[in-house]
Amino acid sequence: MTFRFLAVFLACGALAQAQEPGSTAPPAQSAEPSTTSISREVKEIFDKSAKAVVKIRGTDQHGDLSGTGFFIDPAGTLYTAYSVGGDTENLTVEFEGKVHPARVMMSDVRSGIAILKADMATPALPIGKSEQMEVATPVMTIGFPLDLAKTPSFGMVAGFDRKFLGNYFRTTHVRVNVPTQRGEAGAPLLNFKGEVVGILVMSIDNGSACYALPIDAAEKIRNDFIRFGEARHGWIGINVAAAEKPVDGSTAEMTEIMKDTPAYGSGIQTGDILLQVGKTKVHQPEDVIDASFFITAGDTVPITVMRGDEKLTFDVQADFHPASRHVPMAATLTPSQGIPLQLDATQRTP
């Protein structure tokens, strides 16, 4: 399904048809966007996807809370925001008019998500590719605002941000011009194919817009859980800063190889220009924020650098990121709050 606008075009045959002498061609009709076609597409996606979106309820130290989640497999596994399911007891999901118990399979404050499980057969939303989104890509969400019924919202991608109000995210987040209200934390961000491309984790500007964790980042965390039973945020122990001029398309210069880290003794040197970490290409120092997020502790990560005129690749076995060993508790969603998210300053250190 594509984002369509209706327009009126002259048929090719009419263009070639000879006019009778003295005849007057009818005036061309202007092409105008059709709000009807947009509404139709939103409704189609809502009708197709809504059954897999559920209300989540629970309790925490502040009292009762509620949020949104969505199923990602037919066995009752679902994604939600950490603020909904990360530090919550007595979890339930409302599905097809019934209340079912749910449990936390894993929660990860660094990414801002939680994975829950309800033991039953369920529909599931297809997982898309967040990397295929661009600014102005049309998107929609389905959530439970203010304890109301399941509600669709429509908007578009406004930007891809690595920091907000001076603080860095753990990885790039999608800024979306979709209004959000309490109860919509954990809602799926859908493209116009009905695929999940993000998870709502934070409202901004009094709820007039929101941030979503890209689904590619969420899937990295879920793959860690499938492999190891936990999220494994990795690092290799290098610091980078902006070089005076780009080298092979990158300005990320190695400024420190930290002692007693995976990178120490690997052959990487200060002054090397960082080109790629694993599958993530690096063009500027801030690119290592995303590169670091997608490193999994225990995996061997190829690190490609430019040293002078020579391109070199070093294999480094990543260790656990120090900040992941003692993770602070995240704020939780209470009846008086919006959609919270823990933000703290992150060094440009993979």
Residue-by-residue pLDDT tens, the chain, 350 positions: 333 322 322 233 333 344 444 444 444 444 445 678 888 999 999 999 999 999 999 999 889 999 999 999 999 999 999 999 998 999 999 999 999 999 999 999 999 999 999 999 999 999 999 999 999 999 999 999 998 999 999 999 999 999 999 899 999 999 999 999 999 999 999 999 999 999 999 999 888 999 999 999 999 999 999 999 999 999 999 999 999 999 999 999 999 999 999 999 999 999 999 999 999 999 999 999 999 999 999 999 999 999 999 999 999 999 999 887 544 333 332 222 223 322 333 334 45
Dihedral sign for Cα atoms in the order 42, 46, 48, 49: positive
Backbone dihedral angles phi then psi of residue 277, each to the nearest 5 degrees:
-120, 110
CA distance 60 to 90: 9
What are the tokens at 135? Answer: 């600014």
How many residues are listed for the chain in this entry?
A: 350
pLDDT at 350: 55
Distance set, CA 43 to CA 136, 194, 219, 230, 272 (Å): 20, 11, 27, 37, 52
Listed in sequence order, the residues at least 6 apart from 88 whose beta carbon sits closer than 8 Å to its beta carbon are: 58, 59, 60, 65, 104, 332
Contacts (Cβ under 8 Å, ≥6 apart) of 311: 248, 275, 304, 305
Question: What is the CB-side half-sphere exposure of residue 197 using CA atoms within 13 A?
Answer: 25
Q: What is the pLDDT of residue 325?
A: 58
Cα–Cα distances (Å) from 109 to 112, 155, 325, 336, in that order, read 5, 27, 12, 21
Please classify residue 119 by burial: count the beta carbons closer than 10 Å to its beta carbon, then call 0-12 exposed, 13-18 middle and 19+ buried: exposed
Query: Is residue 206 within 8 Å of 293, Cβ to Cβ?
Result: no
